[in-house]
Amino acid sequence: MRPAPLPVRDGLGPARLRLRGGPVLAELTARFGAVDGARLLAGQVVTADGVVVDETTVLPAGACVYLYRDLADEVPVPFDIPVLYRDDDIVVVDKPHFLATMPRGRHVAQTALVRLRRELGLAELSPAHRLDRLTAGVLLFTTRRELRGTYQTLFARGAVRKTYLARAAVDPALVLPRVVRSRIIKRRRQLQAIEEPGEPNAETLIELVSPTGLYRLTPRTGRTHQLRVHMASLVIPIHGDPLYPRIIDVAPDDFTTPLQLLAYRLEFDDPVSGLRRRFVSRRGLGL
């Protein structure tokens, strides 16, 4: 994807709006109210080529414009983001629970990406992969735009070994370790991912490492909510999970019951330096 024509501002890039076509001023005002219309009149809306849009601009359907949107109030996530490692190419952090990796939906400023851009002064910082908002642990970012694809490809082709820790109930009748394979799909606008008949697309090695209910989870694929779905399928859902096996309504300012799932370790051969990388969460076995 081509770079946005407006720079990152206060840790956040501009919003990209795909148009229905016609006079831009009328469409922005109709869709978003007078505020965005006023931005256009003030010369704060640009096309994908960086051309300033004015009240006479007409664009075809499918064209995009860029502008900075006002952010809604968000509940602050009251946890720091410790940096585990940093060099000129990558930043590795120990993401806390309740903090999304990058902006989506109602979580924008209170995301690891935006907060780290602000704290570290790195406007081009970008995640090489994602962790669920409720999952804590090791998360890797690239520092420059030209490196992003290189590291993202590493994760996409499964060249990164990921190890998770989780806490759940112990079923003495459950034979472990075991490899769980199933077909998992996640439909838009549905909170839960589901298992369905068909060719498996998700695989997890599940091991019980302590009789107190500490599990080591090694995913061999990366489907949405895969570890949570697989643990729930064995009737040992991860402690603190508000989605599996059933949805529990949790207030947005309730940080008292974190999901007991930790991205504990990342291991890979660095595609830039050639070094063998190994990053481990400092949150320890207590999650």
The residues annotated as belonging to the active site are 132
Q: Are 264 and 287 in contact (CB under 8 A)?
A: no
Q: Which DSSP letter does residue 83 get?
A: E
| Range list of H helices, the chain | 24-32, 34-41, 112-120, 145-156, 226-233
Backbone φ, ψ for residue 285 (5° rounding): -75, -10
Place of tokens 């949150």: 283
Query: Which helix (H) or strand (E) covers residue 138, if one does?
Result: strand 136-142
Of 90, 94, 87, 124, the closest CA to residue 112 belongs to: 94
Neighbours of 119 (CB within 10 A): 13
Strand pairing report for 58-59 and 22-23? antiparallel
User: DSSP letter string over 163-229?
Assistant: EEEEEB---TTS--SEEEEEEEE--TT-SS-EEESSS--EEEEEEEEETTTEEEEEESS--TTHHHH
Extract the tokens encoding 161. 């070994």
Query: Helix or strand or coil: residue 22?
Result: strand
Q: Are 164 and 261 in contact (CB under 8 A)?
A: yes
